[in-house]
Amino acid sequence: MELLASAVICGVIVLVGAALLFSKRTSFDHFIDGTKDGIRTCVGLLPTLIVLMVSVSMLSASGLVDFLAEKIAPFCEKIGIPSEILPLVIMRPISGSASNAMISELFEQYGADSFAGNVASVLLGSSDTILYVSAVYFASVNVRKTRHALPAAFAAMLFCVFFSSLICRLLLPQD
Amino acid sequence: MIHILGKIFSIISIISLIFAIFTGNLSQLAGAMLDGASKAVTLTLALVGTMGFWSGVMCVLQDIGVCRLLAKVIAPILKFIFPENCKKGIATDEIAANISANMLGLGNAATPIGIQAMKALSKANGDDGTASDDMITFVVMNTCAVSLMPTTLIALRRAAGSANPFSILIPVWICSVVCAAVAVFFAKAFALFSHAGYKMKNARDSAPPKTRESKAGTE
């Protein structure tokens, strides 16, 4: 599994190298421009991340997350979801930076390769910020009556929580 | 967006403070504040290299036409999801381009194309400020993004000392494809419910013969 994933990553990089050598449609300058853009985006997010990281650290230091996780653990165990990912599930639809802050806190507490860490990763990778995305798209065409858009998106997100736990149990080695 | 984040910050801080007073974790809370601020900087330092590099890689991939290739691959699938628009050719190219850009993690390229697609769909619906079924399906597909290269996630895992940061790649592919399919299913199923509810409401509000007329008018 890891071998295949690493092969894909290396394949992409080799493809880019080949494109830079042989293709006339791209150039190294453009590659560097893209890199600059990425750096700018990442650093541009820093002020938001600082503020959110403070609140996420406070939340985890207050013990509330552990308290709630313990409360819902019996229920979560029945459907096979690690209860530690609860704060991430709540934060994911609202903000990308906040969920990045959440997941790095979760990795620090439980480990990136733990079951909870794996499920959180798969969840973060296969879902998006529902509220932000739908706000951007519906606002662009002045739509106020969004009808069943949010219910359907949240239902899909809940399914995603369930399915990411299932797939981690099936495909990834358990610690 | 900024004020939503402001509210999140206030709510989380207040909840944490109240809970910490009850459990006596107040001193840890003050320390956590200092840690959090510096952790954000360490995290950005850990992410900036990977994110910058992959952003460049994606730029080159876009140049050599990987995005267009991907759009061609997913176009046949879109025929099943938006059958009527595909027949008329409304917004189909934009939707395919938007989804393929999202798959490659090109958020900056995906959003403007997606907005064009929304505008075309809204025009087809008469620009009346209500979301049509197709607009909803499209937005729901976007909230459930299929990501082929979740680079930020991999960088976050690496920064947290994961032995195998790539191990989640294939699970993410499977999960995001399945979830996108389920999202489309939910959007379609909820649309059926919403139409049924609308008809029932109409039937309750007005006399039966009138309902049939107004129904014929809307469809």
Residue among B17, B36, B52 minimizing CB distance to A54: B36
Contact at CB, A31 and B60, closer than 8 angstroms: yes
Write down the mean pLDDT value for chain B. 85
CA distance, residue B200 to nearest chain A CA (Å): 16
pLDDT score of B157: 93
Q: Is the pLDDT of residue B214 over 50?
A: no
pLDDT score of B2: 53
Residue among A58, A137, A153 minimizing CB distance to B16: A58
| Neighbour count for residue B146 (Cβ, 10 Å) | 22
In the structure encoding, which two tokens stand for residue B20, read together? 């910490």
* Contact yes or no for B70/B104 (Cβ under 8 A): yes
- The length of chain A in residues reads 175
Cα distances (angstroms) measured from residue B47 to each of B19, B50, B101:
32, 6, 21
pLDDT score of A172: 85
In the structure encoding, which two tokens stand for residue A36, read together? 């600059």
**Would you call A21 exposed, middle or buried from its count of C-beta atoms within 10 A (0-12, 13-18, 19+)?**
exposed
Contact at CB, B153 and A8, closer than 8 angstroms: no
pLDDT tens sequence across A64-117: 888 888 888 888 888 889 988 988 998 898 888 889 999 999 999 899 999 999
Task: State whether residue A145 is helix, strand or coil.
Answer: strand
| Neighbour count for residue B192 (Cβ, 10 Å) | 11
Output b/e per residue, A124-157; b: 16+ Cβ within 10 A. bbbbbbbbbbbebbbebbebeebbbbbbbbbbbb
Among residues B1, B172, B64, the alpha carbon closest in space to that of A96 is found at B1
| Neighbour count for residue B132 (Cβ, 10 Å) | 18
In the structure encoding, which two tokens stand for residue B105, read together? 């993690």
pLDDT score of B138: 93
Which residues between 46 and 105 in chain B have a beta carbon less than 8 angstroms from any beta carbon of chain A? Answer: 47-48, 51-61, 63-65
| Chain A interface mutation, best of B142, B175, B185, B188, highest count of A Cβ atoms under 10 Å | B175
pLDDT score of A143: 87
Longest dimension (CA), chain B: 71
Q: Is the pLDDT of residue B209 over 60?
A: no
Which residues between 183 and 202 in chain B have a beta carbon less than 8 angstroms from any beta carbon of chain A? Answer: 183, 186-187, 189-191, 193-194
Task: State whether residue B57 is helix, strand or coil.
Answer: helix
Contact at CB, A19 and B48, closer than 8 angstroms: no
* Contact yes or no for B140/B114 (Cβ under 8 A): no
- d(Cα A52, Cα A48) in Å, to the nearest integer? 6
Contact at CB, A64 and B57, closer than 8 angstroms: no
**Would you call A36 exposed, middle or buried from its count of C-beta atoms within 10 A (0-12, 13-18, 19+)?**
middle
Q: Which residue has the tokens 């979760």?
A: A106
Would you list the DSSP string of B161-187? T-S-GGGGHHHHHHHHHHHHHHHHHHH
Q: Tell me the count of A-B CB pairs closer than 8 A.
A: 352
Residue among B43, B52, B63 minimizing CB distance to A35: B52
Distance separating the N- and C-terminal Cα atoms of chain B: 36
Contact at CB, A55 and B37, closer than 8 angstroms: no
Please state the rounded mean pLDDT for residues A132-137: 89
Q: Which ranges in A2-114 belong to alpha helices (H)?
A: 2-22, 28-44, 46-62, 64-79, 86-91, 96-110
Contact at CB, B156 and A107, closer than 8 angstroms: yes
Contact at CB, B122 and A55, closer than 8 angstroms: no
- Residues in A closer than 8 angstroms to B159, CB to CB, are 104
Residue among B64, B163, B175 minimizing CB distance to A122: B175
pLDDT tens sequence across B33-54: 888 899 899 889 988 998 899 8
Residue among A55, A137, A148 minimizing CB distance to B190: A148
Residue among B20, B63, B163 minimizing CB distance to A62: B20
